[in-house]
């Protein structure tokens, strides 16, 4: 800015130039002699020509209590709206005329105001219609009723008056309509039990003269309450909480083990919201059902064994039908993948298993989010929650810490995510996971490590769990073997003796065949030993020969085959 120049800002302050001006110098109203507190009689209105939005243009109302103080004690005016109302329950004489001065003032500086007069006439009871009932309670209306369906007929009467009916409250959405001459209330818009289960309408009956004067006269007698209840219909089908339910089952799961629970909701009430579930499963080999579902809880259980079926999966549908299976239905897909410990990881934390069980859903939700960062839509499943296992073969347990065994299902492949991948997804974010686990594990609670399950330890545990029946059978087998060993030894010794005797017989036969023909068997022996010059040997030889040539030695007394 050049030297010698300056910027001057001048703020112009608005002055309160105008006073509020009423649209009429005199307002008229009528009231019943027994009108209740808060009954609207008429409405006054004033405008201020000061700039809109300024305090000087804001008009408010009040009663002048100096002029006509009695009128000011039984009538009032609402400060913002200008509606003239009864301050108390009236008990005035018919045909009485009251005057009330109302002041309209603004918030300008200085405050400017203006006044008007309201004349209020108390009507004769005979010209005020009276309903036959103070309250009407028609039968419930079904929510599917078409437009124009009659709900109730209200009736009022007055001496020598034509009655005009109107709904003055409770029908803000225009659901109902009333015939102003007959008093028939009917449905104008569709009813929805789930949106509004009941309505409270307030209807008013006025004489035609009052209506034409545009001065309605509410009173105790010319207003009535209508209580309308909506009857629920089965117009909403069940809706499952998920489009697809993903779960897993272990290879060693027993029959009727729990797998996953499906859940459907219904906007209807009563029996129309009571579910019955069933499954539609494609044929499985050997006619096996595979899975069953509890009809009223939605809990899916195994119906077969899955041994050696790892990496297999099953896809089927769950059906929910309301009204205990007799109403409307909807369906959702179910995926169950077969896994074993080769697909699992163990999350070890320094808090008891009970604490992990209490916050299981929240903890799994956190883990699932980190897995889904890598594989969208992946589902983390809990296999087991137990005490921390440690030591040789993980045979010892520490109940002050816990093991949470989990696996994850990939919805793209329908199979479990590889164990090593699952480890990388979680172990790489261990610090972040621990931060999110903190509110659920408590002060100092955290994950200690993520490790793979010890399959060998599991097998060892199964071996240690051999029952009494198996042990008894094993002991019986050992006893049988020990009892059979002596018999086997006897057979072996007998067989050896038989072979020795058979060899001796064969030797004797060869000697006999070597002797000259035509001589008895005893002569060659005698001559033989005589030539040797030993009579003693000769006698022994004769005895031995007779012993060897006995028939009992040429064949066994017991057949060899009978020994076996």
Q: Is residue 168 part of a domain?
A: yes
Q: Rounded to whole angstroms, how far apart are CA atoms 364 and 359? A: 9
- Residue owning tokens 């209580």: 227
Q: Taking residues 46-55, what's their average pLDDT?
A: 91
Q: Are residues 351 and 335 in the same domain?
A: no
Q: Are 323 and 374 found together in one domain? A: no
pLDDT band at 458 (very low <50, low <70, confident <90, very high): low
The answer to whether residue 418 sits within a structural domain is yes
Same domain, 64 and 138: no
Q: Are residues 134 and 227 in the same domain?
A: yes
Cα separation, 325 vs 319, in Å, equals 10
Q: Are residues 434 and 351 in the same domain?
A: yes
Q: Is pLDDT of 95 > 70?
A: yes
Q: Give the gyration radius of the chain's Cα atoms.
A: 54
Task: Choose the final residue of a domain: 411, 434, 455.
Answer: 455
Q: Do 388 and 294 belong to one domain?
A: no
Contact yes or no for 51/12 (Cβ under 8 A): no
In this structure, the dihedral spanned by the alpha carbons of residues 383, 388, 391 and 393, taken in order and rounded to 10 degrees, is -10
In this structure, the answer to whether residues 445 and 350 fall within a common structural domain is yes
- Which of 91, 106, 122 is the C-terminal boundary of a domain? 122
Mean pLDDT within 259-265: 97
- The string of DSSP letters for 466-515 reads --HHHHHHHHHHHHHHHHHHHHHHHHHHHHHHHHHHHHHHHHHHHHHHTS
Does the pLDDT value for residue 555 go beyond 70?
Answer: no
* 307 backbone dihedrals φ, ψ, rounded to 5°: -60, 135
357-402 pLDDT per residue, tens? 999 999 999 999 999 999 999 999 999 999 999 988 888 999 999 9
What are the pLDDT digits (tens) for 144-153?
A: 899 999 999 9
Partners of 450 in beta bridges: 347
* Position 402 in a domain: yes
With cut-offs at 50, 70 and 90, classify the pLDDT of residue 215.
low
Q: Which residues pair with 239 in a beta bridge?
A: 265
> What count of other Cβ atoms lies within 10 Å of the Cβ of residue 141?
21
**Residue 552 covered by a domain:** no
What tokens were used for 91? Answer: 């008990």
If asked whether residues 227 and 246 sit together in one domain, one would say no
In the chain, the number of structural domains is: 4
User: 298 with 354, same domain?
Assistant: no
20, 335, 362, 445, 522 from 366: Cα distances, Å: 64, 22, 6, 15, 109
Alpha-carbon distance 33 to 91, whole Å?
6
- Whether residues 243 and 226 share a domain: the answer is no
Cα 343 from Cα 240, distance rounded (Å): 29
**Mean pLDDT computed over every residue of the chain:** 86
Range of the domain at 144: 130-231
292 and 349 assigned to the same domain: no
* 315 and 369 fall within a common domain: no
Q: How confident is the model at residue 288 (pLDDT cuts 50, 70, 90)?
A: confident
CATH of residue 224's domain is: 2.60.40.60
Tens of pLDDT, residue by residue over 156-206, are 988 778 899 999 999 999 999 999 999 999 999 999 998 899 999 999 988
CATH number of the domain residue 446 falls in? 3.30.70
Which range is least confidently modeled, 19-28, 175-184, 378-387, 459-468? 459-468
Mark which of 178, 196, 231 sits at the end of a domain.
Answer: 231
* Residue 76 falls inside a structural domain: yes
Q: Are 138 and 198 in contact (CB under 8 A)?
A: no
Q: Is residue 6 part of a domain?
A: no
The pLDDT tens digits of the residues spanning 496-546 come to 777 777 777 877 777 777 665 544 444 444 443 333 444 444 444 455 445
pLDDT at position 559:
46
- Say if 31 falls within a structural domain: yes
**262 within some domain:** yes
């Amino acid at each position: 800015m050049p030297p010698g120049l300056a910027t001057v800002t001048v703020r112009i302050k608005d002055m309160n130039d105008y006073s509020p001006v009423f649209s009429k110098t005199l307002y008229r109203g009528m009231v019943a002699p027994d009108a209740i507190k808060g009954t609207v009689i008429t409405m006054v209105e004033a405008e201020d020509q000061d700039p809109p939005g300024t305090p000087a243009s804001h008009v408010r109302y009040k009663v002048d209590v100096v002029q006509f103080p009695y009128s000011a004690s039984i009538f009032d005016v609402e400060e913002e709206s200008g509606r003239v109302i009864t301050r108390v329950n009236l008990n005035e004489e018919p045909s009485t005329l009251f005057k009330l001065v109302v002041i309209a003032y603004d918030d300008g500086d200085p405050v400017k105001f203006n006044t008007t007069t309201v004349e209020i006439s108390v009507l004769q009871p005979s010209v005020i219609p009276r309903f036959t009932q103070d309250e009407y309670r028609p039968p419930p209306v079904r929510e599917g009723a078409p437009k124009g369906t009659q709900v109730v007929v209200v009736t009022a009467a007055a001496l020598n008056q034509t009655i005009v009916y109107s709904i003055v409250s409770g029908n803000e959405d225009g659901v109902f309509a009333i015939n102003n001459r007959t008093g028939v209330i009917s449905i104008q818009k569709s009813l929805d039990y789930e949106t509004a289960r009941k309505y409270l309408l307030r209807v008013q009956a006025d004489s035609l003269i009052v209506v034409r004067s545009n001065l309605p006269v509410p009173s105790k007698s010319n207003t009535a309450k209508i209580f309308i209840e909506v009857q629920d219909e089965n117009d909403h089908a069940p809706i499952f909480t998920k489009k697809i339910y993903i779960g897993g089952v272990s290879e060693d799961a027993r029959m009727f083990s729990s797998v996953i629970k499906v859940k459907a909701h219904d906007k209807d009430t009563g029996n129309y919201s009571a579910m019955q579930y069933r499954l539609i499963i494609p044929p499985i080999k050997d006619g096996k059902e595979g899975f069953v579902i509890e009809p009223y809880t939605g809990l899916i259980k195994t119906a077969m064994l899955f041994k050696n079926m790892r990496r297999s999966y099953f896809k089927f549908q769950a059906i929910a039908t309301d009204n205990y299976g007799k109403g409307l239905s909807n369906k959702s897909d179910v995926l169950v993948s077969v896994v074993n410990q080769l697909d699992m990881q163990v999350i070890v934390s320094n808090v008891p298993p009970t604490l992990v069980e209490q916050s299981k859903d929240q903890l799994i939700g956190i883990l699932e989010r980190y897995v889904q960062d890598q594989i969208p839509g992946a589902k983390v499943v809990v296999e087991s929650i137990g005490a921390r296992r440690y030591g040789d073969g993980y045979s010892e347990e520490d109940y002050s810490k816990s093991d949470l065994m989990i696996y994850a299902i990939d919805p793209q492949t329908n199979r479990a995510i590889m164990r090593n991948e699952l480890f990388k997804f979680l172990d790489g974010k261990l610090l972040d996971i621990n931060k999110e686990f903190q509110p659920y594990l408590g002060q100092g609670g955290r994950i200690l490590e993520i490790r793979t399950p010890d399959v060998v330890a599991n097998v060892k545990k199964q071996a240690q769990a051999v029952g009494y029946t198996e042990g008894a059978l094993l002991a019986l087998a050992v006893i049988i073997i020990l009892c059979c060993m002596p018999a086997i030894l006897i057979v072996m010794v007998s067989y050896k003796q038989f072979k020795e005797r058979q060899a001796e017989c064969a030797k004797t036969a060869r000697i006999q065949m070597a002797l000259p023909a035509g001589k008895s068997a005893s002569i060659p022996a005698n001559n033989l030993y005589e030539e040797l010059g030993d009579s003693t040997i000769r006698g022994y030889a004769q005895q031995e020969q007779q012993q060897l040539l006995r028939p009992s030695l040429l064949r066994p007394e017991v057949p060899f085959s009978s020994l076996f």
